[in-house]
Amino acid sequence: QVQLVESGGGLVQPGGSLTLSCAASGRTFSNYAMGWFRQAPGNEREFVGTISRIGLRRYYADSVKGRFTISRDNAKNTVSLQMNSLKPEDTAVYYCAARDQNWGDSVPQTVPRYDYWGQGTQVTVSS
């Protein structure tokens, strides 16, 4: 198993930036592909982006492509989500997730393809 704890959420103005971090503990971090999801009130949890086990591949939702960047540091057991040019519609609880294998035949973009989840961190984009 792996335990995930997100941090870095908060209130930011439109156009601003914020970096979320996810710290993992438990099994070897590099065994896991990692993903970020978000959930706004009344909405389903939606895919934001994912990074493969050693960080060679990244994939993003169209809604954040060019604005958000995922990175990981396997030596520090962390994965980060750098968010730039934030919009009010980015307001949500953000979750990191771990998949107990690499991407597989297709990019893991759905909730069931991840095995472990953090508790989430709130991001609010508002003036």
Three-state secondary structure call for residue 68: strand
Look at residue 39 and tell me whether its pLDDT is greater than 90: yes
For β-strands 46-51 and 33-39, DSSP reports them as antiparallel
- What Å distances lie between residue 100 and 34, 61, 68, 107, 117, CA to CA? 9, 21, 24, 14, 12
Q: What is the mean pLDDT of the chain?
A: 95
- Per-residue pLDDT band at 103 (split at 50, 70, 90): confident
Query: Is residue 3 within 8 Å of residue 78, measured between CB atoms?
Result: no
- What Å distances lie between residue 56 and 37, 50, 62, 64, CA to CA? 20, 11, 19, 19
Look at residue 86 and tell me whether its pLDDT is greater than 90: yes
Q: What would the mean pLDDT of 90-95 be, rounded to a whole number? A: 98
